[in-house]
């Protein structure tokens, strides 16, 4: 989702958007709706990276020396732990569970002027098994806040006040540490020491088991949403995408009540995709993105 939009938007574009932007955003929302009922996880994605190395070997090069893209749907199947959680009127959710003893979870930002296309990212990262867009980004296709890839800070922490979901305080940082554990921390408490991977987004869904103070249990503002949560011991990461329109309150309580998570972060809304190995190529209609979160089997 582009930074600066209204909290809990039903439509993923600002009122001042140009006609072309309106058409693209409308198509994105429609595609998300259609995808939500068609697969285990409503959509999926990846894109080619200029920065941040993949743990897997590079794709085979053609005669010109250019890595040859591969079809994500034809990539070797990997046993990715996925499930659907159906909470009736409170929504349906696709969940990927990543035990950090078995999975290498990374954050990346290719820093391409035309953004990150998820299918292209998958094609250029053999061995990738899970991919999702990393969080709210700006109109220039740069992350809205902090992004750390393989120990290098590519985008600084953003503590500014502003408009839209990203600035609905408290927001938070999802981080993977050098010691092999993960966390979601209040952005104002972020400590860069020992952080290998990180992305900042907002709002925080849960911090220390508490729902964001501005969420309303009786809200009628619903959207497709994606998020990330971490188990209390920091050893398991949950990537979640909604299969139905839900409120932020319902999204937060799903992490707390169904997954036992104390800390969780909203990543994005209508344009979100969550791809797992064996699924078809992610659609380009919902992108491009800025940063991504990727997982590889160890």
Q: pLDDT tens for residues 187-222?
A: 999 999 999 999 999 999 999 999 999 999 999 999
Q: Which of 28-32, 103-107, 294-298 has the lowest mean pLDDT?
A: 28-32
Tokens 């590889």 identify what position?
296
Between CA 42 and CA 221 the distance in angstroms is 20
Of residues 35 and 71, more confidently modeled: 71
Between CA 238 and CA 22 the distance in angstroms is 32
- Whether 152 shows a pLDDT value over 90: the answer reads yes
Cβ pair 91, 260 in contact under 8 A: no
**Domain regions of the chain by residue span:** 19-52+69-297
- Whether 291 shows a pLDDT value over 50: the answer reads yes
Predicted pLDDT of residue 233: 98
* Average pLDDT of span 14-43: 39
Q: Residue 103 corresponds to which tokens in the numbers above?
A: 């999975």
Question: Rounded to the nearest 5°, which phi and psi values hold at 153?
Answer: -80, 110
**Taking the CB of residue 85, how many other CB atoms lie within 10 A of it?**
16
- Whether 74 shows a pLDDT value over 60: the answer reads no
The reported pTM is 0.79
Of residues 7 and 198, more confidently modeled: 198
Predicted pLDDT of residue 65: 30
- Whether 15 shows a pLDDT value over 80: the answer reads no
Cβ pair 267, 132 in contact under 8 A: yes
Tokens 């003893």 identify what position?
101
Portion of the chain with pLDDT greater than 70, in percent: 74
Predicted pLDDT of residue 26: 44
For the chain, list the strands marked E by DSSP: 82-86, 92-99, 103-108, 130-133, 147-149, 152-155, 172-177, 182-186, 195-201, 204-207, 210-211, 226-230, 236-242, 263-268, 274-276, 292-297
Predicted confidence band at 78 (pLDDT cuts at 50, 70, 90)?
confident
Of residues 34 and 285, more confidently modeled: 285
Between CA 166 and CA 178 the distance in angstroms is 26
- SS3 per-residue string spanning 193-261: CCEEEEEEECCEEEECCEECCCCCCCCCCCECCEEEEECCCCCEEEEEEECCCECHHHHHHHHHHHHCC
Predicted confidence band at 169 (pLDDT cuts at 50, 70, 90)?
very high
């Amino acid at each position: 989702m582009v930074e600066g939009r209204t909290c809990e938007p039903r439509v993923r574009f600002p009122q001042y958007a140009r006609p072309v932007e309106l058409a693209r955003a409308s198509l994105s929302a429609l595609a998300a709706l259609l995808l939500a009922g068609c697969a285990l996880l409503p959509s999926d994605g990846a894109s080619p990276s200029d920065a941040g190395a993949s743990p897997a070997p590079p794709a085979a090069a053609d005669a010109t020396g250019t890595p040859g893209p591969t079809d994500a749907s034809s990539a070797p199947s990997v046993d990715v732990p996925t499930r659907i959680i159906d909470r009736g009127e409170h929504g349906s959710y696709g969940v990927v569970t990543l035990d950090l003893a078995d999975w290498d979870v990374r954050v990346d930002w290719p820093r391409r002027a035309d953004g990150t296309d998820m299918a292209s990212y998958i094609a250029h990262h053999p061995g990738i098994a899970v991919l999702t867009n990393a969080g709210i980004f700006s109109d220039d296709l740069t992350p809205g806040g902090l992004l750390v890839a393989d120990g290098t800070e590519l985008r600084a922490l953003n503590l500014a006040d502003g408009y839209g979901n990203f600035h609905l305080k408290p927001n938070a940082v999802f981080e993977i540490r050098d010691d092999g554990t993960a966390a979601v921390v209040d952005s104002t408490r972020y400590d860069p020491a020992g952080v290998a991977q990180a992305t900042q987004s907002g709002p925080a869904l849960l911090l220390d088991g508490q729902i964001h103070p501005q969420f309303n249990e009786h809200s009628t503002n619903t959207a497709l949403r994606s998020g990330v949560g971490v188990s209390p011991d920091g050893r398991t990461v949950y990537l979640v995408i909604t299969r139905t329109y839900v409120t932020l309150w319902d999204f937060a309580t799903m992490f707390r009540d169904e997954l036992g998570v104390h800390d969780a972060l909203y990543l994005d809304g209508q344009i979100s995709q969550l791809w797992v190995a064996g699924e078809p190529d992610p659609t380009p209609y919902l992108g491009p993105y800025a940063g991504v979160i990727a997982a590889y089997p160890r």
